[in-house]
Amino acid sequence: MCGIVGYIGTQTATEILLSGLEKLEYRGYDSAGIATIWEGDVNCVRAKGKLHNLRSKLEQVETHAQIGIGHTRWATHGKPEEYNAHPHMDAAMRVAVVVNGIIENYSELREELKQKGYQFRSDTDVEVIPHLIADFFKHSPASVPFSPSLFLEAVRDTVKKLRGAFAIALISADYPDELIVVRQQAPIVIGFGQGEFFCASDTPAIISYTRAVLPLDNGEIARLTPLGVEVYNFAGERLKKQPRLLNLNPMMVEKQGFKHFMLKEIYEQPGVVRACLDAYFNADWNVSDSTNSPVKLGLSADIYSDLEQIQIVACGTSWHAAIVGKYLLEQLAGIPTQVHYASEFRYAPTPLTPNTLTIGVTQSGETADTLAALAMEKERRQGKEPKYQARLLGITNRPESTLGQMIFHIINTLAGIEIGVAATKTFVAQLMAFYALALDLAYLRQSISPTRLQEIINGLRQIPGEIEATLEKQEHYIEQLAHEFAETKDFIFLGRGINYPIALEGALKLKEISYIHAEGYPAGEMKHGPIALLDAKVPVVAIATPGSVYEKVISNAQEAKARDSRLIGVTPVNDGEAAEIFNDLIPVSKVDELLSPILTVIPLQLLAYHIAARRGLDVDQPRNLAKSVTVE
């Protein structure tokens, strides 16, 4: 998964490409490169590592090119070295190509091309593309009847030979007024400016220049010239398409005074919860209202009727949100729910069950494993008797994504674009989606009383203020605390019940941005093995919220204390046993146990953030990671 950007117009392309790549760096930052057409040649500059390396190299290159393509890479095939960086070119250096995605049949194509005498300069799957294009030109007539451009034909002929999921942008020195863009199962949007056109893997890359965009669909090729945009299908037929206006403001993709996007996004969480409350819940509903539903997700009966089971597929942080979701769906709506890692479910699906809702949770809507698991579920239920047919629901922050195009029923998590690679505000928004879904089902199935329903909704309405209070009162304390752990090697996070996934999430946040080894455990499991890890060098963070498991967590924390671990409590209780056993106590407000995960996760996000920042690490772009994982 990588980021690609392209420009054709009247301005100097280099700066526009670089600023676009800056906004796409969250997708990968192993190397970067751009290619422009200047004075009849393709000018290609590439650099290993982050974008600033490319920027320094480009300072020595003077070009006023008005067309170009750029790429920021997350390595899949081939090491993160300059020779593997995109753009890739043909032997004559006339065609330059950038790709996001994977060419699955590249080894056979590579062999065929080698047999024909083409030499390869990289280890990537992508390099077959410029050679295939060169090969087309070698054997092609001077023009193809009814086609506006031979370059377009060369690309069309080439993509028909490729298998995989990809988005491609290409330029050719022999066709200096054409930028060709292809989509096959990897996202790409076209941007429409005044006498200039753009393409990008994601809208933040072009939002400073235009809000009019056209996301390409699978199997489409766009030809961008200074005069306009034409869209074709792979069969070569011209398609009628309309751009639409984006509801995204360029400020959303700036840090706005925060040191890192991650911190800004942590602070945006009260607003995100408010947006979800407004969108998901009926403000006028009260306990005596028997005609309206308290929840307004707009999901139709074909999702809900005769529902017997729910299965959720997700990865990473979204998987953690799904485990909180399972708890809510089972405890509130009484529906047996299973949560699967999408990457496991794909290859070991559960036996088909009737009347089953399958939910895919993915903030990006582009995670390959989650999309493939959902596609597999859809396919294996096709043609079955009605009760076995697929019912799919997506929970995503990007309804315009591949998930959004693939699934009809979507809950939009309304967190706004998230730039920091570590998910924070999108996680909290996913939790909100699960509260709404579980309460909607509970209302319809009458599995909880209207009074309890009202109590939970009232509690949810308090959450934004409580998050604000936690941020305001605790951030400084957590920052000080974090300084003491900057050199710590291992961490354990404990939680039980609905806060067990929050322990997992706290550990994941710490691992991914601080590179400190951390494990999350259900507190009661410690004694079955992991307790052997504990000593004075291994701090234990315990989430202890009043409710069904409070005393149990306190006892488990005592067991850790007895092994000399330093104990950090995330708890609203600051007296009694809690005050005695916790070496450090991070208070959170006391709320209904069911709602506590939205609050307990906040200090854990801050702890991970401040430890990573103290260690001087690149919080927003941690090593080896990328924001959306569009490969298997």
The contact set with ligand F6R (CB under 6 A) reads 315-318, 362-364, 367, 370, 422-423, 508, 512, 628-629
Give the shortest CB-414-to-ligand F6R separation in angstroms: 15
Amino acid at site 331: Q
What is the phi-psi region of residue 631: left when phi exceeds 0, alpha when psi lies from -120 to 50, beta otherwise? beta
CB of 224 to ligand F6R, least distance (A): 28
Distance CA 213, CA 56 (A): 31
Q: What one-letter code names the amino acid at 393?
A: L
Sort strands 567-571 and 584-587 into parallel, antiparallel or unpaired.
Answer: parallel
3-state SS, residue 577: helix
Q: How far is it, in rounded angstroms, from Cα 56 to Cα 134?
A: 31
**Minimum distance between the CB of residue 97 and ligand F6R, rounded to whole angstroms?**
26
**C-beta nearest to ligand F6R: residue:** 316
Residues 6 or more apart in contact with residue 593 via CB below 8 angstroms: 497, 498, 545, 546, 547, 548
Tell me, yes or no, if 2 is annotated catalytic.
yes
Question: Is 8 or 262 the residue whose CB approaches ligand F6R more closely?
Answer: 262
| Number of C-beta neighbours around residue 79 at 10 A | 13
Among candidate residues 2, 44, 199, 276, the one labeled active-site is 2
Q: Could you write out the three-class secondary structure of 484-531?
A: HCCCCCEEEEEECHHHHHHHHHHHHHHHHHHCCEEEEEEHHHHHHCHH
CA distances, 443 to each of 292, 450, 452 (Å): 10, 8, 10
Which CB atom, from 355 or from 405, has the smaller least distance to ligand F6R?
405
Minimum separation from the CB atom of position 620 to ligand F6R (A): 11
Q: Please say which residue, 173 or 262, places its beta carbon nearer to ligand F6R.
A: 262
Instruction: Tell whether the torsion through CA atoms of 154, 110, 33 and 61 is positive or negative.
Output: negative
In the chain, % helix, strand, coil (3-state, to 5) comes to 40, 20, 35
Residue whose CB is less far from ligand F6R, 43 or 317: 317
Q: Who's near 158: CB < 8 A, 6+ residues apart? A: 129, 132, 133, 136
Residue with Cβ nearer ligand F6R (124 or 364): 364
Q: How far is the CB of 13 from ligand F6R (least distance, A)?
A: 30
Q: Which is nearer to ligand F6R, 423 or 437 (CB)?
A: 423
CA–CA dist 311, 336 (Å, integer): 9
**Can you tell me the distance from the alpha carbon of 194 to that of 10, in angstroms, rounded to the nearest whole number?**
9
Nearer to ligand F6R by Cβ, of 478 and 508: the residue is 508
Catalytic residues: 2, 627
